[in-house]
Homo-oligomer: A and B are copies of this chain.
Amino acid sequence: MATDLKGSYRQLMERSKRLTVLRTASGIIQWDMETKMPPKGVEQRSEQLSLLDLIAHREMVDPSVGTLLDTIEKNRGYSSLDEKQKRNVHLYRKNFDEEAKLPDELVVETSKQAAICVNVWKRAKAAKDFQMFRPELAKMISLRERAAEIMMGVKGTKTPYDALLDAFEPGMTAERITEIFTGMRKGLMDIMKKVESSDVEPDVKLLSRKVPIDAQRKIGQMAMDFVKYDTTSKEAGGRLDETEHPFSTGYFDDVRITTHYYENRWPSSLFSVLHESGHALYEQNIEQSWKWQPIGNAASYGIHESQSRFVENIVGRSPEFLEFMLPKLRKICGPALKGVRLDRFVAAVNQVEASKIRIEADEVTYGMHIIIRFEIERDIFAGKVKVEELPEVWNEKYHKYLGVEIEHDSEGVMQDTHWAGGAFGYFPSYALGNIYGGMFLKKMDSDLPEWRGEVKMGNYQPVGTWLKENVHSKGNLYDPADLVRKVTGKDLEIEPFIYYLKQKMGRIYGF
């Protein structure tokens, strides 16, 4: 019996390895598509990606996997497995149950529709024509509805939308998010009001002075060197490329990031490099011996975002980091930073102002963009909002929550690619990331009271080590809520994030 258990567990981990190797192979091909592929290759590429998806899906749902899982779970020696082994079995079981219920046909159709829909979205966005996008989006939504219905049954969630949320943030529900976001909204509105009534007006124009791309490359390299994301040494496990939208991808020893350089908006690439480095370091720092196992992955998309935003915002936009960087930036940027004092620079990169575009939003108003998307997603999958109503609903909410007027759908409901790709349930992760980050910061402040002083002297190591030990290395050993509890001793709470913002913005805006 015990041999049976050991042997079956070993076999399960071998399957996990095959599956992970396949997925990482697919990840490289995806990366290539975004960064290097000649434009004509797109059709061949979609064949490659959908075949690898299908092979991975079949590998996952092979009936022998069910047999292995049964053998392990029902074995009388099961309780002798350690915590990590049990978690591996649990994660594999969850994934198997979910995928096994999805028909091959739905998997293939969804993957093809995603390719089509993203393609049409690009064209429709360029043409500012929601009507062009509408029918493909409707098809995508109905495919996701089918999947959500099936997964609701497997996961036992209350609603189909909860099943989608769970795929990105295990254990999270729309009810809980509504509750959290209500608190967050209140806190953010309060800060927004204080900012509005402040006399301080950060001079953001100084950030749009022209800095050549080559100089920006040097700045990006400095940022990566600062956080010790290695893209240059003989043992490097990372690299930086250029794409329209920055992203990160990879696994353990090969994790890559991208950025975009704007001549007239140079801080954009500095902060996107920091953001993506935060993602990359998380992947690289997961406990090495868990490679190829289910626990050898990030805990959730929300935790992932907490790490990227921690590096970008909490560290990267801190007065201490900016103080350390300013003299170096001055040398590289030349005239663009001439005569710019530290306090003006700190205020400019932390300006709070309601805007139309999520990815350009500041730390405070960002959450409002997410609340809008969450409410709309939730209502779509509850049958309360129809596809044709999306532009109107979107524009109304932007007016109501952010006080901005959307002029056309390309700066409105079509600004993001997520829905075109079928990633409903993803958006909340971004805001959860901010909230987790606030909680981690509070704990780190108490564990490492000297961290800001160290950053000011150019030393990221204490922060990097704290994040690695407390978050990164833990991989997927815990569901996000449990991980947060392990690290901070608390259940999810909004206060630390709001406190952090109030302190920081209060200092800049004088409240």
Contacts and interface: CB of A to CB of B under 8 A. Distances in A.
A40 interface: yes
19 contacts: A21-B44, A21-B47, A21-B48, A21-B51, A24-B44, A24-B48, A25-B29, A28-B32, A29-B29, A37-B254, A38-B237, A38-B253, A39-B234, A39-B236, A40-B236, A41-B237, A44-B254, A45-B254, A55-B55
A52 interface: yes
A220 to B, nearest CB: 16
A231 interface: yes
Given A21-B48, A44-B254, A48-B24, A231 B38 contact: yes
Nearest to A20: B47
A437 interface: no
A58 to B, nearest CB: 11
A43 B288 CA distance: 13
A394 interface: no
B41 A253 contact: yes
Interface residues of A, number: 35
Nearest to A42: B253
Given A32-B32, A55-B55, A25 B48 contact: yes
A428 interface: no
Nearest to A238: B38
A210 interface: no
A22 interface: yes
Contact of A254 (B18, B41, B52, B254): B41
B38 A236 contact: yes
A296 B364 CA distance: 56
A447 interface: no
A485 interface: no
A41 B55 CA distance: 23
A29 B40 CA distance: 18
Interface in A243-274: 251-254, 256
Given A28-B28, A41-B254, A44-B253, 9 more contacts: A21-B48, A25-B51, A38-B256, A39-B236, A40-B235, A40-B237, A44-B252, A45-B254, A55-B55
Contacts of A256: 38
A36 interface: yes
Contact of A239 (B17, B38, B234, B236): B38
